[in-house]
Structure 1
């Protein structure tokens, strides 16, 4: 193993120590994910200083925005999966062709989704049951965030192309710069310019625009091994077919989850604004705690993809086992921290004290959801192996099944057949995270993930 060049990520992934590869790739992804989470956290903290209704509005509309960007996320997942397998098979020129198509279709979809989102946002918010200030502030925030769709999609592309090569550092540096700019602009736009909740959305838009512009410059630079070339570009039906074959289930899974959260928010809002705010706040906290496990899962996608491209199924399977152990440990530690420091954590993230019920409900929810933290980590690992192998239909079924077949039915049962109130939501959230991992393990043991979706033969001359 001493002969392995640690700076050559492909060599490390295909021949090096798997634990080293997981940690090396995941650390920048974890930092990147933490930075991305900071976008929402910083917005939440500053908006929360205005009032709990403003905070609830930003949380309430998040699933709507997520529904639209889920298509870009699906294409990004397909990009990482396909490109990593082509790199593992030593077909870099073919990988460049795929990168061109992925960027082209992403831009086209982003423009269409932006226009659609701006038009439909007030209708969707109304259909979700929001009224008064919650609806007004939510619509203001959402319409502005739709404007950054094209920049977000481009960053997804940059991220997937870099991650497929094992270069997880560059996207992290870009995200750090963007997040720092967002932190600076938030208080200026919200309070100095007195733009309120709109200021938070404009700050994020400006930050992501700069992120995408700088990222594209690096993507087309000489140091990128998979450098796109749009000279004489035209869409290739065969390549797009492969991209959608892998990306469509991911997009459906993400979109299904987003729609599920929209429906979920419809139930949550019926319990009052305080419950909406508590739900949004605790989800931000758990997202922050679970970033290490999510980073491991994302790194696993690249490692599984490259090793499957090189026909090294044993290494792909070994990487899954080691990733499972690491995320389980992280989840247990996260669970303990949340249970021990629940009060201080919730009070930190809710700066506005105008509604004490938000604090009470937040602590209550945190106790329930913390118990499923180890399973949230395993969920990320199952997603990593299914997406890395290109078998995204299984990751899709996990995304959709967790919400539509477990969580929402349980919430309905608790709502209409018991008198435990919002506690039914918290129980349903935690139990669904546990049950979906049981399903993921059953699929994994059947070995169906070993079937290659994109047919590539390693170490052949590129055509």
Structure 2
């Protein structure tokens, strides 16, 4: 489907078809990456030590750095989608070029800082012995290759802002395919262990991220992005930062919150930390449809707000809620009876299996809540009102989950289970807050300024 047909579908097509058409490639992309994560966990678990715990322990730190780039790509996608909805393709293309320059610079600065700070950060988190060694080995390589993930995110944002979710699927599938091939080679053949797993991830992402960025330029592309758009424009970059900063802060504080959560997990022992890591990998399978729908919803909301179709943007949200609820309940119902057997695929330790099974069952029962969370975040990010998304992301962890874990973990009869139940309760309360913000209607105001004449010319 070409650029204009996709725009016409988003602005005027059947809403269920719109959401599913955009969401299915995202779901497949998420599935492919989830499959990789499971495969990566499988290979790392065969090294023979506590490498899985090491990766889980430091991953929130990686995400902490990534969150700054994610915020800017969220802003980029929102701006591009609203300019396209308003018919201003020139400004949409310029925003794409400015985002590439901004994200490249940020990745080089953050990557360098993170590489040298890795040993101190892991030590500060309380890791010792092999957990410290594995954490530093993985974290250092991931920071050194941070630019690859930033550029991949930039490519995805540019395409998704246009309503093109198929191109990120293709690039993502190729990247993951190469990653799966390189994992056993680097880990076992070259005997690089956990460092090899990180190198495989960085290399496979870098190759296809660079290819993706190069591909957005040229006459054959639907959105006109030229080399001239790479010339820094303070006003455009300022707009991206203005909209992206709240999202970045929300992502960063959420990532830091998960870092603190890992500190609590370590206090219960590496068995609980490993169970949490395995459970999260499995749970990401069931969350795949909700994440796909939330991601697809953002450009639909953005383009319709850009075209002043507020009622249609609202229709997109409630259609997404219905689709997400149905899909998640069916998926959880299928996986729930086999929870123990699924966890046992990734560990032979009876204690890890027992803890991981309890966690997975609790999360599966409450899985629609995470779907609603993704939809509210997608709505507020697509509208460009990232401050509301920040409130949800930060509030869920810092105002609700972490205080509840601190309280429940010191209460008799809970122990590690306090973490699982605090996650469910925090998800529920966050969804209530998200609904309140949505009903206020403040997210409906678009964040771009364009002349109405342009919209009329395109419509004609």
Unaligned 5+ runs, structure 1: none
> Separation in 2 of the partners of 1:232 and 1:242?
15
TM value normalised by structure 1: 0.95
> Separation in 2 of the partners of 1:314 and 1:384?
17
DSSP 3-state at the match of 2:138:
helix
Are the aligned partners of 2:82 and 2:446 in contact in 1 as well (CA < 8 Å)? no
CA RMSD of aligned residues (A): 1.7
> Separation in 2 of the partners of 1:135 and 1:233?
41
Q: Aligned pair in 2 of structure 1 residues 93, 5: CA closer, same or farther (>3 Å)?
A: closer
CA deviation after TM superposition for structure 1 residue 232, in Å: 8.1
**Which position in structure 1 is the counterpart of 2:146?**
149
**Which position in structure 1 is the counterpart of 2:392?**
398
**Which position in structure 1 is the counterpart of 2:112?**
115
**Which position in structure 1 is the counterpart of 2:185?**
188
> Separation in 2 of the partners of 1:242 and 1:85?
13
Structure 1 residue 440 corresponds to structure 2 residue 434: yes
Are the aligned partners of 2:289 and 2:324 in contact in 1 as well (CA < 8 Å)? yes
> Separation in 1 of the partners of 2:239 and 2:43?
43
Are the aligned partners of 1:5 and 1:12 in contact in 2 as well (CA < 8 Å)? no
**Which position in structure 2 is the counterpart of 1:297?**
294
Residue of structure 2 aligned with 1:105, choices 102, 106, 125: 102
**Which position in structure 1 is the counterpart of 2:275?**
278
5 Å-filtered alignment, 1:255-404, equals 255-348=252-345, 350=346, 352-353=347-348, 355-404=349-398
TM value normalised by structure 2: 0.96
Deviates more, 1:10-19 or 1:235-244: 235-244
Q: Deviations over 1:54-107 (max 9, x none)?
A: 111111111000000101111111111010000000000111111111111100
> Separation in 2 of the partners of 1:111 and 1:331?
39
Deviates more, 1:237-246 or 1:317-326: 237-246
DSSP 3-state at the match of 1:222:
coil
DSSP 3-state at the match of 1:429:
helix
> Separation in 2 of the partners of 1:346 and 1:110?
36
Residue of structure 2 aligned with 1:429, choices 423, 432, 455: 423
CA deviation after TM superposition for structure 1 residue 37, in Å: 2.6
**Which position in structure 1 is the counterpart of 2:27?**
30
CA deviation after TM superposition for structure 1 residue 338, in Å: 3.2
CA deviation after TM superposition for structure 1 residue 456, in Å: 3.2
DSSP 3-state at the match of 2:228:
coil
Q: Aligned pair in 2 of structure 1 residues 225, 186: CA closer, same or farther (>3 Å)?
A: same
> Separation in 2 of the partners of 1:54 and 1:81?
38
**Which position in structure 1 is the counterpart of 2:236?**
239
Structure 1 residue 452 corresponds to structure 2 residue 449: no
Are the aligned partners of 1:292 and 1:327 in contact in 2 as well (CA < 8 Å)? yes
Are the aligned partners of 2:63 and 2:255 in contact in 1 as well (CA < 8 Å)? yes
The number of equivalent residue pairs is 456
> Separation in 1 of the partners of 2:252 and 2:38?
22
CA deviation after TM superposition for structure 1 residue 141, in Å: 0.7
Are the aligned partners of 2:83 and 2:448 in contact in 1 as well (CA < 8 Å)? no
DSSP 3-state at the match of 1:341:
helix
DSSP 3-state at the match of 1:275:
helix
CA deviation after TM superposition for structure 1 residue 334, in Å: 2.9
Are the aligned partners of 2:84 and 2:306 in contact in 1 as well (CA < 8 Å)? yes
**Which position in structure 2 is the counterpart of 1:213?**
210
Are the aligned partners of 2:98 and 2:229 in contact in 1 as well (CA < 8 Å)? no
DSSP 3-state at the match of 1:417:
coil
Are the aligned partners of 2:97 and 2:229 in contact in 1 as well (CA < 8 Å)? no
**Which position in structure 2 is the counterpart of 1:95?**
92
CA deviation after TM superposition for structure 1 residue 238, in Å: 1.5
DSSP 3-state at the match of 1:226:
coil
Are the aligned partners of 1:331 and 1:375 in contact in 2 as well (CA < 8 Å)? no
Q: Deviations over 1:16-68 (max 9, x none)?
A: 11111111111111111222333422221100112361111111111000000
Q: Deviations over 1:126-179 (max 9, x none)?
A: 111111101101110111111221111111111111111111111111111111
Unaligned 5+ runs, structure 2: none
Deviates more, 1:134-143 or 1:222-231: 222-231
Are the aligned partners of 1:330 and 1:377 in contact in 2 as well (CA < 8 Å)? no
> Separation in 2 of the partners of 1:232 and 1:66?
29
DSSP 3-state at the match of 2:158:
helix
Deviates more, 1:363-372 or 1:267-276: 363-372
> Separation in 1 of the partners of 2:388 and 2:11?
25
5 Å-filtered alignment, 1:56-95, equals 56-95=53-92
Are the aligned partners of 1:89 and 1:459 in contact in 2 as well (CA < 8 Å)? no
Are the aligned partners of 2:366 and 2:424 in contact in 1 as well (CA < 8 Å)? yes
> Separation in 1 of the partners of 2:158 and 2:263?
37
